[in-house]
Amino acid sequence: MLYLGLDSSTQSLTAVVVEIDGNERRVVLETSVNFDEALPHYGTRNGVLPDSDPAVGIAPPMMWAEALDVMMGRLAKAIDVGTIAAISGSAQQHGSVYLNATATQVFSALDPAQPLVDQLRGTFSRATSPIWMDSTTTEECREITAAVGGEHQLARHTGSRAFERFTGSQIRRFFKHDRIGYEATDRIHLVSSFAASLLAGRHAPLEPGDASGMNLMDLAAREWWRPAVDATAPGLMSKLPAIVEPWTCVGTLSPYWQMRHGFPAAQVIAWTGDNPSSLIGVGLAREGRVAISLGTSDTMFGPMTEPHVDDSGTGHVFGAPTGAYMGLTCFQNGSLAREQIRAAQGMTWSGFSHVLASTPPGNNGRIMLPWFAPEITPPVSVPSVHRYGPASDGASEVRAVIEAQQMSMALHSRWMARTVDVIHATGGAAVNREILQVMADVFGAHVLQLRVGNSAALGAAMRAAHAHLREHHRSVDWDDVVAGLAEPLAGSRVDPNPDRHALYREMMPVYAACEAHALGRGPDPRELVDRFARCSVRL
Ligand code: XUL
């Protein structure tokens, strides 16, 4: 049997097809459609519509739909899609798609003779979708927080305090700024449930993993939390999809896909967010280990049995595909910050790695706060890059950005895991062993690189398999599903160096002091930095 997993991320749509035949399992195909390159007519840069305001993060939902059509056509040419039993997917979290009342009919009667996008044109009540990179909704966050009785109350129920990118505040902003558009909205989907709806030919429900990225769902009850829904916008409840268990079959692949591209009537399993999907894709079905994904955003996440909410208000608790929970902290300045430094230094990626390997840990006391774009953790609304310590000499910029990212992850994820012994590393930059070495040294943990780099799409394929197998066997053990697929790459283990880890433990409070100063919350850290610079030369 074949299972298809799709991941609609910020910059691309990726597919992973796996074959599961008894104990035999293998990845049949991995392929990606890059939005900027394959669909240049939408005018996106890194999958986002350019805007002079760095706080604005929007993308065209039509582009995601067209990418799906391109991908399904490509898959049908590459493999025998006839034995695909089930399809699931994941998408960048928090982004929302606004549809008018015609969508229901259009989705159910798509004409296989016409391209998908030509038929969707009239179905949107809002042409663009706010995505996770948008941070324009500070005021709406405040309003919702006040209306539900404060930050702790909101976090205790929904798993997170109000965050600008979360869908609730985004919906409120749309309601406030475009009342007519809001009134014309019949259904608000997340990117995940929008894509699932296109595949199934009917409005698909949400599952708790992605729904918990909205500040609207009661985590424990797994249903919409009325006070938050009412605080967000009037009449919102009737515009939201239902919430179902993560393994729910939301329909069969609609005739459009069968007739246009030759797919079978495969089951469509509820889609989730890219981070919950990656949890499965990196093989973390149980508590004990954490994962770091180095993608457009860098995220650190791990399974949780109970939904312990972060008291510091930094992180999030989401539903996990297993039915349990996961903790997550998100850092917006991920790959784009690394890319900025690489490009500014005129280096190739192998040159970048070489420089990283040949610069000293601790960077002779040079510390950077690499907020090239607004930052989520810690919250920074106006992009600004801060530097402390001796003047940069070019090469030190490379080490500074990587050390800062790892330090920040270690510092701001303490709420989730006090001790970290093993990290499963995924995402595009996880192929870079020099970056993984800095990660291992900062955390003092063993780092394992995953065999399949596209962990969100792999997780989606495994979720499809799990749901399909569940129909025939009353209980399906997640360990059996992930075995043989979400495995670390043989020989990929990166071990921490004890001396370097000791150095980074000394550097951590210095980094924290620089961060506090840059945020306007702490004294000038110059003396601390100088002292650290003097003692860091020992390595
Ligand atoms: C998670 C988040 C990002 C997006 C990226 O909360 O905002 O990781 O999911 O696709």
Ligand 1, atom nearest to 10 Cα: 10
Instruction: Please tell me the distance from the alpha carbon of residue 276 to that of residue 294, in angstroms, as a whole number.
Output: 15
Give me the torsion for CA of 369, 442, 434, 500, rounded to 10°: 120
Name 158's Cβ contacts closer than 8 Å, sequence gap at least 6.
212, 214, 215, 216, 217, 218, 219, 225, 228
Instruction: Please tell me the distance from the alpha carbon of residue 107 to that of residue 114, in angstroms, as a whole number.
Output: 13
List residues bridging with 488 in a β-sheet. 450
Average pLDDT of the residues in 465-469: 95
Q: 92 C-alpha to center of ligand 1: Å?
A: 6
Instruction: Please tell me the distance from the alpha carbon of residue 102 to that of residue 424, in angstroms, as a whole number.
Output: 44
Q: Encoding tokens for residue 223?
A: 């249903």
Q: 393 C-alpha to center of ligand 1: Å?
A: 33
Q: 42 C-alpha to center of ligand 1: Å?
A: 22
Per residue in 233-286, pLDDT (tens digit) is 999 999 999 999 999 999 999 999 999 999 999 999 999 999 999 999 999 988
Query: What stretches of 79-137 show up as alpha helix (H) in DSSP?
Result: 103-108, 116-120
Per residue in 14-70, pLDDT (tens digit) is 999 999 988 889 999 999 999 999 999 999 999 999 999 999 999 999 999 999 999
Pocket test for ligand 1, best of 6, 92, 166, 412 (most atoms within 8 A of CB): 92
Whether 264 contacts 317, CB under 8 Å: no
Name 502's Cβ contacts closer than 8 Å, sequence gap at least 6.
none
Query: Which pTM does this prediction carry?
Result: 0.96
Q: Exposed/middle/buried for 305, CB within 10 Å: 0-12, 13-18, 19+? A: exposed
Q: Report pLDDT for 508.
A: 98
Pocket of ligand 1 (CB under 6 A): 9-10, 92-94, 132, 165, 213, 273-275, 297, 299, 330
Pocket test for ligand 1, best of 299, 300, 310, 314 (most atoms within 8 A of CB): 299
| Helix, strand, or coil (residue 370) | strand
Judged against a pLDDT cut of 90, whether residue 537 lies above it is answered with no
Helix, strand, coil shares of the chain as percentages rounded to 5? Answer: 40, 20, 35
